[in-house]
């Protein structure tokens, strides 16, 4: 079946109702949904029939099943670009009707003839016809719905195409279970659910032909010419030129190929794998449905569940997880466990799929996006054909093996071993892809998991600001104020615009809150109220000072920011640091510093430098030691974003360490320098005349 897997997402309910209210489109959608259901059912039936025709020969079964998938993919590889051009030259409605009739006829003929050769001939013929039907349908949809509903129409079309796969799997399993009872009244169907599934598939195409024949709204005119005359080889060559220039896109392409290596092995060997576990067509349908159920779940819910992770990290991590589950699937010879593992495998594959397509759309420039997607689609098809051809060879070469351990006997055959190899390859490619696109190279993956569970990761991986944001943190008496001024001067000497601020007190409102928070006259404040007051100050500070300066391209230096609340109110007041972090993240709209500099100093030494003590500085030594340890823990979890400097060094040594790290920031090179004021060397004649007149009047 020559389908490329898109990233379908359910449209908004009001949009769905709007597009489904169009009678012509609603009729076409129903025929598409029924045809897609039948087509998935036909895929299951033809692979099961190939396994049945092998007469129990293990090697022949693997080759036969792989042959079905190759027969479905080959037409799109070689005929796909040409079919779209030819389809535009015919009356679309009649073309769709004729192709549906022929597809129905071919599926009826498969169980009647019942040979390997005709199975492959009919499969190739059906796929060739589909290549003409699909562009005619795609070109017709824009003529059936208003332009503002076209996106919604495409979305529900994708749901019809791919959302019916689990339903088809369940139906195939049901047919396998009821075929025995049907045999009592209709001997023709004795233990043969495959034939019944193929006839239902044929009926779905006949229904499609009847429906489209009545859709006179479909115009006869040719659709606009689509850029479909580029062959596979040319797509590969042109696409590679653009892919090779981007490390991120290379990682995406490599990852997608790895995903389809794994998918090809599973698809090509699933029927044999189920047979090795002692199950039949019903179990095959369940396993097939499990893959697509997991896939749909991963696409629908994965991005929401893992929204805390950067998409670059999530892609490689999801592919690695899918590979590991594939290894687990091959290693455990138990059908029930295999179904659950397959669901998880499909879920992570779905996450990988939707994340990869989303990132390609974001990372690739608009002018080369089409060629990049064409390259990826061609590469995926070639990869699938290669894997579907090679995997049965490996499985057949391995053959059947039985291992005996005392009183236990375990059969481990070629299908499972081939799936194991594919899982290892997918895992390795996932790791490589993850390392290629790792957007925070000095931070461990487990650190990201920890921060995500605490709700703190999303802001770290958020969109960067135009300017450069640097925060200074540390305990009392650590020298932050001195170092912020020195860094400001150093940056200004290099002609950067710098805004120096502090918390609390960076705004008029902040000064009032500072008086409340630090004055002894305030008395005892509830720890939660204190955390909220600091968050209120920070929200206004970001809104009125920090964001405007960053948007202007300036360097912003702040004496205390987000981490002060985590350390002081979280660790110092013994609140939950994750809760305090979430409050500040909401208050700041997820704005994190590019670099946070922590001046580390033992609490006792820092307090000894103070001459006067405000309300926080007067807290016990243990309070300040907890703060110091929390700062160090934050820096340990994310060394890329933090710089810890020994506060006991001299002022010049501390400044030297800070400017060394700041000068290495890639973001600093993007911060524009201030324009030098132009000096007008020619004096203003009016000013000269005025001065002369003034001197003359004084003399008089």
| Class of domain 238-439 (CATH, top level) | mainly alpha
pTM score = 0.52
At 499, give phi and psi (nearest 5°).
-115, 120
What are the pLDDT digits (tens) for 578-621?
788 888 888 887 788 889 999 999 999 999 998 888 888 888 99
Residue 668's pLDDT is: 78
Q: What is the CATH number of domain 1-229?
A: 1.20.1250.20
CATH of the domain spanning 463-670, picked from 3.90.1150.10, 3.30.930.10, 1.10.10.10, 3.40.50.300:
3.40.50.300
pLDDT tens profile 469-510? 999 999 999 999 999 999 999 999 888 889 999 999 888 998
Q: What pLDDT does 480 receive?
A: 92
d(CA 2, CA 378): 12
Mean pLDDT of all residues belonging to the chain: 75
Quickly state the pLDDT bin for 271 (edges 50, 70, 90): low
- The domain spans of the chain are 1-229, 238-439, 463-670
pLDDT in tens, 212-221: 888 877 766 5
Q: Which pair of structure tokens corresponds to residue 151?
A: 């996106």
Equal fold, 1-229 vs 238-439:
yes
User: Residue 152: which residues within 8 A CB-CB, separation 6 or more?
Assistant: 11, 12, 15, 16, 18, 19, 145
Nearest to 262 by CA among 114, 40, 423: 423
Q: Is the peptide bond before 6 cis (omega within 30 degrees of 0)?
A: no
> How far is CA 647 from each of CA 131, 621, 623, 672, rounded to the nearest angstrom?
70, 18, 19, 31
Mean pLDDT of the region 333-354? 80
Average of pLDDT values for 315-330? 85
Residues facing 596 on adjacent strands? 471, 642
């Amino acid at each position: 079946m020559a389908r490329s897997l898109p990233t379908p997402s359910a449209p908004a309910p009001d949009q769905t109702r709007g597009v489904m209210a169009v009678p012509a489109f609603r009729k076409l959608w129903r025929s598409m949904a029924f045809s897609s259901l039948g087509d998935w059912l036909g895929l299951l039936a033809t692979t099961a029939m190939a396994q049945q025709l092998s007469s129990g020969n293990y090697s022949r079964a693997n080759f036969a099943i792989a042959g079905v998938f190759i027969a479905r993919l080959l037409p799109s590889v070689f005929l796909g670009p040409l079919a779209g051009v030819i389809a535009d030259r015919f009356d679309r409605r009649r073309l769709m009707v004729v192709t549906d009739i022929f597809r129905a006829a071919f599926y009826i003929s498969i169980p009647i003839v019942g040979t390997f050769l005709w199975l492959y001939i009919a499969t190739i013929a059906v796929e060739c016809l589909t290549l003409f039907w699909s562009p005619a349908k795609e070109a017709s949809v824009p003529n059936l719905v208003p332009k503002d509903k076209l996106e919604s129409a495409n979305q529900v079309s994708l749901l019809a195409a791919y959302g019916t796969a689990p339903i088809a799997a369940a139906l195939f399993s049901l047919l396998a279970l009821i075929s025995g009872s049907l045999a009592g009244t209709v001997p023709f169907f004795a233990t043969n659910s495959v034939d019944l599934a193929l006839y239902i598939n044929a009926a779905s195409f006949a229904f499609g032909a009847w429906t489209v024949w009545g859709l006179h709204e479909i115009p006869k005119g040719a659709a606009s010419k689509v850029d479909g005359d580029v062959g596979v080889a040319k797509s590969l060559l042109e696409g590679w030129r653009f892919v090779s220039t981007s490390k991120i896109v290379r990682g995406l392409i490599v990852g997608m190929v790895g995903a389809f290596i794994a998918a090809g092995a599973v698809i090509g060997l699933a029927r044999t794998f189920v047979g090795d576990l002692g199950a039949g067509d019903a179990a095959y349908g369940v396993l097939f449905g499990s893959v697509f159920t997991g896939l749909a779940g991963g696409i629908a819910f994965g991005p929401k569940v893992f929204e805390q992770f950067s998409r670059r990290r999530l892609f490689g991590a999801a592919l690695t997880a899918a590979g590991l589950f594939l290894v687990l699937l091959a290693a455990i010879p138990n059908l029930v466990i295999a179904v659950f593992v397959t669901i998880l495998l499909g879920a992570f594959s779905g996450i990988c799929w939707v994340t990869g397509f989303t990132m390609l759309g974001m990372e690739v420039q608009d002018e080369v996006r089409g060629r990049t997607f064409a390259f990826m689609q061609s590469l995926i098809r070639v990869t699938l054909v290669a894997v579907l051809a090679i995997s049965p060879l490996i499985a057949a070469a391995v053959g059947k093996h039985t291992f005996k351990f005392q009183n236990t006997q375990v059969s481990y055959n070629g299908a499972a071993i081939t799936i194991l190899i594919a899982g290892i390859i997918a895992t390795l490619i996932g790791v490589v892809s993850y390392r290629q696109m790792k957007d925070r190279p000095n931070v461990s993956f487990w650190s990201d998991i920890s921060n995500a569970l605490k709700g703190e990761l999303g802001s770290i991986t958020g969109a960067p600001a135009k300017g450069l944001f640097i925060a200074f943190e540390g305990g009392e008496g650590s020298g932050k104020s001195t170092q912020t001024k020195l860094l400001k001067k150093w940056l200004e000497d290099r002609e950067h615009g710098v805004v120096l601020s502090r918390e609390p007190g960076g705004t008029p409102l902040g000064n009032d809150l500072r008086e409340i928070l630090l004055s002894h006259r305030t008395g005892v404040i509830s720890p939660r109220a204190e955390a909220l007051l600091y968050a209120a100050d920070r929200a206004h500070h970001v809104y009125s000072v920090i964001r405007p300066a960053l948007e202007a391209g300036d360097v912003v230096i702040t004496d205390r920011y987000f981490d002060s609340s985590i350390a002081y109110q979280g660790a110092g007041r013994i609140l939950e640091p994750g809760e305090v972090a979430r409050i500040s993240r909401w208050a700041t709209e997820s704005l994190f510093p590019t670099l946070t500099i922590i001046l580390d100093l033992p609490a006792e030494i820092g307090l000894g430098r103070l001459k006067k003590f405000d309300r926080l500085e007067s807290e016990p030594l243990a309070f300040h030691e907890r703060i110091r340890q929390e700062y160090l823990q934050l820096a340990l979890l994310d060394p890329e974003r933090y710089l810890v400097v020994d506060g006991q060094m001299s002022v010049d040594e501390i400044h030297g360490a800070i400017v060394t790290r700041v000068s290495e920031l890639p973001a600093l090179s993007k911060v524009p320098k201030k324009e030098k004021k132009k000096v007008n060397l020619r004096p203003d004649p009016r000013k000269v005349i005025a001065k002369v007149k003034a001197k003359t009047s004084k003399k008089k």
